[in-house]
Amino acid sequence: KKIEFEGQQPGRREADEIEEVVDHPGNVQHMNQRDEKEEALHNEEKEQEKPKEYGPQATLRPGTMGNFEPETRPKTGPGEMGEPVYVSMSEKAAADRAIREFGFNMIASDKIAMDRNIPDTRPDECKYWQYPEKLPTASVILVFHNEGFSTLVRTVHSVINTSPPHLLREVVMVDDFSDKEHLQGKLEDYLLKNFRDQVKLYRNSKREGLIRTRTLGAKYAKGDVIVFLDAHCECNKNWLVPLLARIAYDRTIMAVPIVDGIDWNNFRYHSVYGSSGDHRGIFEWGFLYKESKVPDKELARREHSSEPYRSPTHAGGLFAMDRKYFFELGGYDPGMMIWGGENFELSFKIWQCGGSIEWVPCSHVGHVYRNHMPYGFGNIDVKIPVVLLNYMRVVEVWLDDEFKEYFYTREPTIRGYPIGNISEQLEFKKKHNCKSFKWFMDNIAYEIYDRFPPPPPNKKWGEVKKNGRLCWDTMGGQVGNTVGLSMCHHFGGNQLFRLNTKGQLAVGERCIDLSGGQPKVIFCSVMPTGPWDFDESTHQVRHKTRGQCVQADGQNMKLVMAACDASLGNQKWEINEIQTW
C-alpha cells in the first residue's frame, strides 16, 4: 500500500486549504484574515529595528526606465498574455494521460509558443528603479526528473529571453536520471540547435533526488550567483536584475522572486497575491510550508512597497544566492533525500548563521503547480516517509530542545527513527557560532507564535479502535469531513489521533470537533476546541461541553454522539500508540 503522507504531495501541499481562500492558484495558504489586531499588539512589544535601506546601488527615479525592459512585441496565438488554453473533446483522453504522467496538461502546453508573452505582474513602481550597471553574473540552474518536453524547454527559452545577456553566464541543466525518451537525444539536439553553448546539459548516472542534484548543479556552475528555478517556470519582465542587485549589496542575502501561478491544466499565468507580493514563507510545527501576510513591523522597515522584505523561509524552488556563500554554508545537507525539507534547512542555516532571506516584489517568476506528484522516489530504504526523515534531520540540527518537542508532538510515531549521521551539520553550527532557533523565532519568524501556537503535549495518542480492527479515520483529512470507521492500517496518517493536555483532539495539522452533532475535521483555531477527554476506566471518549460520548454506528461505519452510558459496548474505545517503522 502506498502511504499517502498527509499534505506533503507537491503542488498539493495545501490542497486541503482551499476552503480558506477560494481563488488560490498556488495551493499556498492565505492567512491574512487572521487576527491582525493581535499581531499588531505583539509587534508593538518588539523593539523597533532600524530600517535597512534598499541599498546604495538602487535608486527610485520616476520617469526613467529600469535596466532590462525590452519592449513586448504583441503576438497572437494560444496562451498569449498568459491566457488559458483549452483542449478539444477529441484531445481529452490524451490530455488526461499527460496529466497522469506529468502532473500537467502537456497537450495544452504543446499548443503554446515557446516565447509566449505573459502579463507583467510587477508593481508599476518597478519600472523606475535604477539598478547598478555592474552586477554579479548568474548561472541559472534547472534540475529535472522526467519532466514534460515543452514545459521544460519553455523554461529555458523564458530564462534566456528575459535575462540581460551580459549577466546570464549560462543555463545549467542537470538531468536527474530521467528515463523518458523525449529527454534523451531529442533534448540534446534541441538545446544545441537553439542555444548552442549558452545552455549546458549534465546528466546524473543514478537518481539523486532534487536536493543533491541542485548541489551538483551549483558545483558545475561558473557564474558569481546561482539561481535555482524548477523545470517548469516562466520568468517575468526584468526578474533577474533586482535579485542580483540585492546580492551585490550584501552577498549573504538569499534573494527570492515572488512566485506567480501557472495553471497545470490550462497554463493561465496569474499573480497569486497581487503584484507587491506581501506574503512571506513560514511553517507549522509539522513543517508543512505556509505563506502568510507580512507583519506590519516588517513592512515598516521599507520606504516603498516595491522594495524587498525579509522572510523567515522560502518555498524551495526559486531563489538566487552567491555561489561561494552557498558552499560556505555547506550547500544542502547531503543526508537529505529526494524531495522536501531542504528549503527549511537552507533557511534556518542562513538566518541562524548570519545571513538573511528577502523576497523581492520587483522580481516575478511563474511556476506550474502540479496536479499531483507524478514520479516515485526510487528504491530507497527508508521506513518512514522520506519527507519526514528530511524534516527530522533539520529539526535535530537546527531546532532547540523546546521547539523539537513541538515537532515530535505533531509527529509522534517517528520519534527515535535513525536519521543517520548529523555530526558534520552540528559541527558547522558550532564552528560558525550560529544563533539559537529561539533567536530566529523571536526576531524573524515571530508571527508563527500567533499563527501556529506551540502545541500542548499529547496526553494520549494513537489509533482509536474497536474490536481490534475498526479504526477512526478522517477519510482523507479534508476540513468538513466527518470522522468515520475503516479497517485499521497501522500507517498512522488519517487514523492517527492526538489528544493533548488542553483537551484538543488533532489529526495531522487539523483538529476534530463537533459540527452538526458529528465529529468533524475543522481548522485548529487559536481558541480552544473540544475539550475532549478519554476516560481510562470506562474507555469512553467524551466531549466535555456537550456531555456526550462517541458511539460506533458499525452498520454504517460512522461515529455518532450519544448520551454517555458506560455499559454500552459501542462506546468503548482502545487508543493504542503505534510505531510506523
Binding footprint of ligand LR7 on the chain (CB under 6 A): 10-11, 13, 143-145, 147, 176, 209-210, 213, 230-231, 259, 315-318, 338-340, 342-343, 367, 370
CB of 101 to ligand LR7, least distance (A): 13
Provide the b/e sequence for 536-554 (b: ≥16 CB within 10 Å).
eebebbbbeeeebbbbbee
CB-based contacts of 491, cutoff 8 Å, min separation 6: 1, 3, 580
In the complex, the smallest distance separating the C-beta of residue 279 from ligand LR7, rounded to whole angstroms, is 11
The entry of ligand LR7, Mn ion, none that residue 17 binds, CB within 5 to 8 Å by partner kind: none
CA-wise closest residue to 150 among 106, 99, 90: 106
Task: For the CB of residue 190, give the shortest distance to ligand LR7 in the complex, in Å.
Answer: 17
Contact call for residues 173 and 144 (beta carbons, < 8 A): yes
CA distance 202 to 222: 14
- Beta carbon nearer to ligand LR7, 366 or 455: 366
The residue (of 230 and 260) whose beta carbon lies closer to Mn ion is 230
As a dihedral over the C-alpha atoms of residue 46, residue 52, residue 54, residue 60, rounded to 10 degrees, the angle is 90
Residue closer to ligand LR7 (CB basis): 147 or 463 = 147
Closest to Mn ion by CB, 99 vs 506, is 99
Nearest residue (CB) to Mn ion, 335 versus 366:
366
List interacting residues with Mn ion (CB under 5 A).
230
Which residue, 230 or 463, is less far from Mn ion as judged by CB?
Answer: 230
Shortest distance in whole angstroms from residue 367 CB to Mn ion: 6
Binds 340, which of Mn ion, ligand LR7, none (CB < 5 to 8 A, cut-off by type)?
ligand LR7
Strands 510-515 and 505-507: antiparallel
What CA–CA distances, in Å, run from 323 to 78, 177, 223?
38, 24, 7
Beta carbon nearer to ligand LR7, 340 or 493 = 340
Closest approach, Cβ 185 to ligand LR7, in A, equals 19
**Nearer residue to ligand LR7 within complex by CB, 367 or 466:** 367
3-state class (DSSP) for residue 225? strand
Cis peptide before 123 (omega within 30 of 0): no
**Which of ligand LR7, Mn ion, none interacts with 280 (beta carbon under 5 to 8 A by kind)?**
none
Give the one entry of ligand LR7, Mn ion, none that residue 343 binds, where binding means its C-beta sits below a cut-off of 5 to 8 angstroms depending on kind. ligand LR7
Residue 316, binding choice from Mn ion, ligand LR7, none, Cβ under 5 to 8 Å by partner class? ligand LR7
Q: Which of Mn ion, ligand LR7, none binds 176 (CB below 5-8 Å, type-dependent)? A: ligand LR7
Q: How far is the CB of 314 from ligand LR7 (least distance, A)?
A: 7
Closer Cβ to ligand LR7, 146 or 500, answer by number? 146
Q: What's the min distance (Å) between Cβ of 336 and ligand LR7? A: 9
The single-letter code of the amino acid at 111 is: K
Which three cell numbers mark 330?
555547506
Q: Rounded to the nearest whole angstrom, what is the least distance from the CB of residue 281 to ligand LR7 in the complex?
A: 9
Tell the burial category of 70 from Cβ atoms under 10 Å away from its Cβ (0-12, 13-18, 19+): exposed
Strands (E), 333-442: 356-368
Question: How many angstroms from the chain centroid is the CA of residue 580?
Answer: 25
Q: Which does 237 bind (CB under 5 to 8 A by kind): ligand LR7, Mn ion, none?
A: none
Which does residue 106 touch among Mn ion, ligand LR7, none (CB within 5 to 8 A, set by kind)? none
Q: Which CA distances in Å does 129 have to 114, 126, 254, 272, 300?
A: 29, 6, 20, 23, 19
Q: Which is nearer to ligand LR7, 345 or 463 (CB)?
A: 345
Residue 63 Cβ vs ligand LR7, minimum distance, rounded to whole Å: 34
Burial string for 239-273 (b: 16+ CB within 10 Å, else e) reads bbbbbbbbbbbebbbbbbbbbbbbbbbbbbbbbbb
Euclidean distance between CA atoms 412 and 402, whole angstroms = 15
- Work out what residue 448 binds among Mn ion, ligand LR7, none; the CB cut-off runs from 5 to 8 Å by kind: none
Residue facing Mn ion at closest CB distance:
230
Residue 350 C-beta: closest distance to ligand LR7, Å: 15
- Letter for the amino acid at 458? N
C-alpha 388/C-alpha 530 separation (Å) is 28
Residue 347 site contact among ligand LR7, Mn ion, none (CB < 5 to 8 Å, cut-off depends on kind):
none
Cβ 373 to Mn ion shortest distance, Å:
9
Nearer CB in complex with ligand LR7: 261/462: 261
In 113-269, which ranges are continuous DSSP H helix? Answer: 149-162, 185-195, 209-220, 240-249
State how far the Cα of 506 lies from the Cα of 327, in Å rounded to an integer.
Answer: 40
**Three-class SS state of 533:** strand
How many C-beta atoms surround the C-beta of residue 362 within 10 A?
30
Taking the complex as a whole, how short is the minimal distance between the CB of residue 209 and ligand LR7, in angstroms?
A: 4
Query: Which residues make Cβ contacts (< 8 Å) with residue 295, sequence separation at least 6?
Result: 39, 43, 446, 447
Question: Which entry of ligand LR7, Mn ion, none binds 425, CB below 5 to 8 A by partner kind?
Answer: none
For ligand LR7, the closer of residues 113 and 315 by Cβ is 315
Whether the Cβ atoms of residue 145 and residue 207 lie closer than 8 Å to each other:
yes
Cα–Cα nearest to 512, from 489, 534, 536: 534
**Cβ distance to ligand LR7 smaller for residue 309 or 339:** 339
66, interface contact from Mn ion, ligand LR7, none, CB < 5-8 Å by kind: none
Closest approach, Cβ 141 to ligand LR7, in A, equals 10
557 binds, among ligand LR7, Mn ion, none (CB under 5 to 8 A by kind): none
